C-alpha cells in the first residue's frame, strides 16, 4: 500500500506506482471491468502495489473501481497496474456486462394479449 502521512496525504505521488507511466498497455479496461486473480505464486518481480492487487483478488473477483478504492489510488493508476498484471498473465479481466436491451413494448403487449386470450 502506498505510504501516507498522518494527514492522509501520500508521501509518494501515485504515478510513481506505475513507473511514471500514465497510460495502460490496453485500452479495454473500464471502471466496471471485473478482475479475477490467477492462481500463481507471487514472486519478487511483482511490485508492492501489484502484490496488493493480487492479494485483494485471492478471495474472489472485484471490479477495477473496487480495487482502486481498497488501494486508495486513482482509477487511472490502477488501470496501468492491472494492465501490466493482465499482460503478465497474473490476472484475467472481463469486460462489464452490458445493460440489457429494453424490450419492445408492442411485442410484450401482444404476448400479454395472447396469454389473456388463452385464459378465457
Grid cell at residue 83:
494492465
Average confidence (pLDDT) over 12-28: 65
Query: Contact 79/20 with Cβ under 8 angstroms?
Result: no
Does the pLDDT value for residue 62 go beyond 60? yes
Q: What is the pTM of this model?
A: 0.65
Average confidence (pLDDT) over 41-67: 89
For residue 100, the number of C-alpha atoms closer than 13 Å in the C-beta half-sphere is 3
For residue 97, the number of C-alpha atoms closer than 13 Å in the C-beta half-sphere is 2
The mean-pLDDT minimum among 2-11, 33-42, 104-113 falls in 2-11
Residue 34: its pLDDT value, please? 92
The mean-pLDDT minimum among 7-16, 53-62, 84-93 falls in 7-16
Query: Which pLDDT tens digit goes with each residue over 67-93?
Result: 999 988 888 889 989 998 999 899 999
Amino acid at each position: 500500500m502506498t505510504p501516507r502521512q498522518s494527514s492522509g496525504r501520500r508521501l509518494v505521488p501515485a504515478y510513481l506506482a506505475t513507473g511514471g507511466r500514465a497510460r495502460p498497455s490496453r485500452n479495454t479496461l473500464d471502471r466496471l471491468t471485473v478482475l479475477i486473480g490467477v492462481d500463481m505464486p507471487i514472486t519478487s518481480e511483482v511490485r508492492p502495489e501489484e502484490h496488493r492487487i493480487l492479494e485483494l483478488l485471492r478471495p474472489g473477483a472485484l471490479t477495477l473501481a473496487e480495487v482502486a478504492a481498497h488501494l486508495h489510488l486513482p482509477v487511472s493508476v490502477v488501470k496501468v497496474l492491472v494492465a501490466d498484471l493482465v499482460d503478465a498473465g497474473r490476472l484475467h479481466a472481463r469486460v462489464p456486462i452490458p445493460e440489457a436491451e429494453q424490450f419492445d413494448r408492442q411485442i410484450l403487449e401482444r404476448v400479454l394479449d395472447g396469454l389473456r386470450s388463452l385464459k378465457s
